[in-house]
Structure 1
Amino acid sequence: MSHVVQIKTQVRDASAVRAGCVRLGLDAPVEGEVKLFAETVTGLGVQLSGWRYPVVFNITTGDSKFDNYQGHWGKQERLDEFLQAYAVEKTKIEARRKGYSVSEQSLADGSIKVSLVAGGVS
């Protein structure tokens, strides 16, 4: 039986953030105070491709802060791509923790199908 799920992503897992960075070929995230254009915020900073300033995730609250100057300093698509990578990696971490095998397939529309099967780790 198949189940389709849509996920609204809150970033709360540093391991999945790191895995998302690896997946996209980004530099490792930086933890601590991170300078945005007009303020300094604390959290886990991820430098997205083509972005002037990093996105900073507060993994306690799940919130994110960034300044892309309405797309002039970074395209929203790069953030969407990272959030998708994070969600896939977080799903895989949790599924494997519960003993499921995991596979994924990239679809033509840019989405990623993640399949979980009980029993066995992949």
Structure 2
Amino acid sequence: MSHIVLITAEIRDLVALRSSCRQLDLSDPVHKTVKLFNDVATGHCVQLPRWRYPVVCDIASGSIRYDNFAGHWGDQSELDRLLQRYAAEKATLEARRQGYTVTEQPLSDGSLKLTVHVGGDA
């Protein structure tokens, strides 16, 4: 049986965030206060490739703050990749905590297909 799921991204799991960064060859997130262009943000900071300012993840609230000046200071696709990887990591962690196995398949359009195997039949 197949199900389609729509997920609104919040980053609340530091383990999944760290794993996502490693899989994308990014530095581990560092908890600190940083200056964005005209604001200050505190949280776990992830520096994306060719982004002027880091992405700041507040694990407690799930919020994500960043300033890429509508793409002039950072390519939105880099943030999209991080969010996609985080969603896949979080779903995989939760499925494994419940004793399920998970397989991941990258699709030609850049999306990911996760299959959760219930009952151990991988």
Per the TM superposition, whether the score is higher than 0.5 is yes
Q: Supply the distance in 2 between the matched residues of 1:33 and 1:59 (Cα, whole angstroms).
A: 14
Counterpart AA for 1:80:
D
Q: Distance in 1 between matches of 2:108 and 2:50?
A: 24
> Residue by residue, what CA displacement relative to the aligned partner does 1:16-41 show, whole Å, maximum 9, x if unpaired?
11011011100110112122122221
SS at match of 1:90: helix
What residue in structure 2 maps to residue 109 of structure 1?
A: 109
TM-score, with length taken from structure 2? 0.93
SS at match of 2:82: helix
**How far is 1:114 from its partner?**
0.3
The whole-number CA distance in structure 2 between the counterparts of 1:56 and 1:27 is: 13
Q: Give the TM-score, by structure 1 length.
A: 0.93
Q: Partner of 2:79: helix, strand, or coil?
A: helix
In the alignment, structure 1 segments of 5+ residues that lack a partner are none
Match in the other structure for 1:17: 17
Is 1:119 the equivalent of 2:116? no
Q: Percent identity?
A: 51
CA-to-aligned-CA distance 1:34-83 (integer Å, 9 cap, x gap): 22122221111110111011000111111111111111110111111100
Q: 1:8 matched to which residue of 2?
A: 8
RMSD over aligned Cα atoms: 1.5
Aligned-partner Cα distance in 2 for 1:34–1:88: 27
SS in 1 for 2:116: strand
- Match of residue 53 from structure 1: 53
- Say how many residue pairs are matched: 122
Q: Write the distance in 1 (CA, Å) between the matches of 2:119 and 2:14.
A: 26
Moved over 3 A (4+): none
- SS of the residue corresponding to residue 119 of structure 1 reads helix
Distance 2:30 2:4 in 1: 34
Deviation digits for residues 72-95 of structure 1 (CA, Å, limit 9, x no counterpart) = 110111111100000000001101
What does 1:27-106 align with in structure 2 at a 5 Å threshold? 27-106=27-106
